[in-house]
């Protein structure tokens, strides 16, 4: 007998509910077959789609913050009035519904025509904006410019051969084989034509002529700009070891890289992952999902100890070992001789497939050549503007003054890159908006998500609330008594509340 489709949750909101039906700020119900979330904010009540447009997270389990609701999974934020996705990683707006009062009852009627986003107003509209980079920051900037009703020219120059994709999926579900490729594009191809964004793929930018305000391509073409955003991202570190140039040895950054790994995984029995970083271990989990034996080789004594500390590092190792991953820590691959990966310690691992994931480095060459101030990244101010007026930087290359840690920091997080691209877009339009978002990232290992807010390069105290081994914890990283970062496993709301607390403290 076929499974019956689950009924929508909660009461039928089209029939109305009473204020006493709310147990807090939110009430999950439905209109027809669609789940709808009623939200109380002050004296007003809003109705909005119940699931985040990013990965379908349950907004009813999130947090209401003024006239916004935040998703507990990956901290996207939605405007309750307009449905606009105001904070990445969500980019698509949610539907909003008409709410009426019938005596004491609160009744949800039909969907409203999608309201326009709240536009701050263009203070200084340049005629021509050029974006160098086709990743998270570059795409988010271009999309936000059009969302802010900017009508000038946008040229987006990408070295990739594919339009911008959801890069976190490349080491997670898509690599594991549980997500189809058509989930990956951040927007369909016709989006760029319809919004008049001139996306140029496979383009090499040779230099920037600051005086002439031109971006010069390798073929000699000059593209003029009034405002320029550098979002060149990062590239994987390549190990200078013999045999690393063989076709079964891979890096992972682009969609083409991921496709190549998937092709090598067909029929493979054993893989070696070099590097016990987030990217390396996500790759390991994805290859285990394909029933490939996986060996992880890493210099560190504990995986991810530098970011998460000793106890979380031990937990992550144990989790992967439970799923069959074999670790070779305190070691590295010295050479790859055919299918034989030779370890520095003298061991040999036969492998059909090798993935090198030992970190990335920011692509700074273009910024250095045109004379921008560099400080282990492109130095930007609180508005993401570089040392040259009119040139902005966002994403993996940008080092910005972070008011939460009190330091100039550079982070390589997908969500940070998207949010910086959005802020840079508004600032290129003269809106003078300080970038003060709290850094956030998530990592997925089998069925265990790790969420992390803040930024702690070093700490003097780790406070654990709950039980890491039981996969139920909130871990605070403190220095001088001050919380710099918080990691969690299955404490989504507490992690989200920690982000909001850091914002308000800042």
pLDDT tens digit sequence for 391-425? 999 999 999 999 998 899 999 999 999 999 999 99
Tell me whether strands 197-200 and 153-157 are parallel, antiparallel or unpaired.
Answer: parallel
Does position 205 have pLDDT exceeding 50, yes or no?
A: yes
Does position 333 have pLDDT exceeding 80, yes or no?
A: yes
Predicted pLDDT of residue 5: 55
Cβ neighbourhood burial of 34 (10 Å; 0-12, 13-18, 19+): middle
Long-range contacts of 312-319 (CB under 8 A, 24+ apart): 312/450, 312/468, 312/475, 312/487, 315/468, 315/469, 316/281, 316/445, 316/450, 318/469, 319/445, 319/446, 319/448
Does position 1 have pLDDT exceeding 80, yes or no?
A: no
Find the mean pLDDT for residues 240-255. Answer: 95
Find the mean pLDDT for residues 477-485. Answer: 95
Mean pLDDT for all residues in the chain: 94
Does position 123 have pLDDT exceeding 70, yes or no?
A: no
Does position 4 have pLDDT exceeding 60, yes or no?
A: no
Structure tokens at 128: 């021509």
Higher pLDDT pick, 503 / 117: 503
Rounded (10°) angle between helices 278-289 and 310-322: 20
Predicted pLDDT of residue 2: 41
413: left (phi over 0), alpha (psi -120 to 50) or beta: beta
Find the mean pLDDT for residues 327-351. Answer: 96
- Least confident stretch, 40-44, 323-327, 493-497: 40-44
Predicted pLDDT of residue 443: 94
Predicted pLDDT of residue 426: 96
Q: What pTM, to 2 d.p., does this model score?
A: 0.95
Find the mean pLDDT for residues 465-492. Answer: 97
Does position 506 have pLDDT exceeding 70, yes or no?
A: no
Predicted pLDDT of residue 3: 43
Predicted pLDDT of residue 79: 96
d(CA 194, CA 214): 26
SS3 content of the chain, % helix, strand, coil (to 5): 25, 35, 45
Handedness of CA 320, 325, 327, 333 (dihedral sign): negative
Find the mean pLDDT for residues 355-384. Answer: 96
Q: Summarize pLDDT for 284-309 with one digit per residue, the tens.
A: 999 999 999 999 999 999 999 999 99
Q: How confident is the model at residue 115 (pLDDT cuts 50, 70, 90)?
A: confident
Predicted pLDDT of residue 290: 97
Does position 191 have pLDDT exceeding 70, yes or no?
A: yes
- Least confident stretch, 87-91, 202-206, 401-405: 401-405
First to last CA, the chain: 56
Task: Identify which of 258, 238, 486 has the alpha carbon closest to the alpha carbon of residue 353.
Answer: 258
């Amino acid at each position: 007998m076929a499974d019956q489709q689950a009924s929508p949750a909660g009461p039928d909101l089209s029939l109305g509910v009473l204020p006493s039906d709310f147990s807090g700020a939110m009430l999950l119900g439905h209109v027809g077959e669609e789940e709808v979330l009623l939200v109380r904010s002050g004296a007003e009540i809003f109705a909005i789609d119940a699931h985040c447009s990013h990965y379908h997270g349950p907004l009813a389990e999130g947090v209401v913050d003024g006239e916004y609701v935040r998703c507990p999974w990956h901290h996207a934020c939605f405007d309750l009035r307009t449905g606009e996705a105001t904070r990445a990683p969500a980019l698509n707006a949610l539907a909003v519904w008409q709410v009426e009062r019938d005596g004491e009852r609160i009744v949800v009627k039909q969907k409203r025509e999608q309201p326009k986003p709240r536009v701050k107003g263009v203070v200084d509209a340049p005629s021509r904006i050029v974006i160098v980079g086709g990743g998270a920051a570059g795409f988010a900037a271009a999309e936000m410019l059009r969302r802010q009703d900017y009508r000038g020219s946008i040229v987006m120059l990408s070295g990739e051969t594919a339009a911008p994709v959801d890069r976190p999926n490349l080491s997670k579900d898509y690599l594991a084989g549980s997500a189809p490729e058509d989930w990956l594009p951040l927007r369909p191809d016709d989006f760029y034509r319809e919004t008049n964004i001139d996306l140029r793929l496979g383009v090499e930018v040779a230099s920037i002529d600051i005086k002439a305000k031109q971006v010069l391509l390798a073929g000699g073409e000059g593209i003029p700009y009034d405002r320029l955003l550098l979002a060149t991202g990062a590239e994987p570190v390549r190990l200078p070891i013999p045999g690393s140039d063989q076709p079964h040895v891979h890096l992972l950054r682009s969609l083409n890289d991921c496709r190549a790994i998937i092709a090598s995984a067909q029929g493979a029995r054993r893989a070696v992952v070099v590097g016990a970083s987030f990217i390396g271990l996500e790759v390991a989990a994805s290859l285990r999902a394909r029933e490939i034996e996986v060996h992880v080789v890493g210099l560190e004594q504990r995986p991810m100890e530098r970011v998460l500390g000793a106890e979380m590092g031990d937990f992550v190792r144990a989790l992967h070992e439970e799923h069959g991953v074999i670790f070779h820590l305190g070691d590295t691959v010295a050479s790859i001789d055919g299918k034989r990966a030779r370890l520095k310690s003298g061991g040999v691992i036969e492998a059909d497939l090798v993935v090198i994931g030992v970190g990335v480095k920011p692509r700074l060459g273009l910024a250095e050549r045109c004379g921008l101030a560099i400080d282990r990244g492109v130095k930007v101010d609180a508005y993401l503007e570089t040392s040259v007026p009119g040139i902005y930087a966002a994403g993996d290359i940008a080092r910005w003054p972070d008011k939460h840690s009190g330091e100039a920091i550079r982070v390589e997080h997908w969500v940070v890159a998207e949010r910086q691209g959005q802020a840079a877009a508004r600032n290129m339009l003269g809106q003078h908006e300080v970038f003060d978002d709290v850094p956030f990232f998530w990592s997925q290992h089998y069925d265990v998500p790790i969420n992390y807010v803040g930024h702690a390069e070093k700490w003097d105290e780790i406070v654990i609330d709950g039980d890491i081994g039981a996969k139920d914890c909130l871990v605070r990283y403190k220095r001088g008594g001050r919380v710099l970062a918080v990691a969690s496993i299955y404490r989504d709301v507490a992690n989200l509340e920690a982000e909001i607390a850091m914002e308000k403290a800042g």
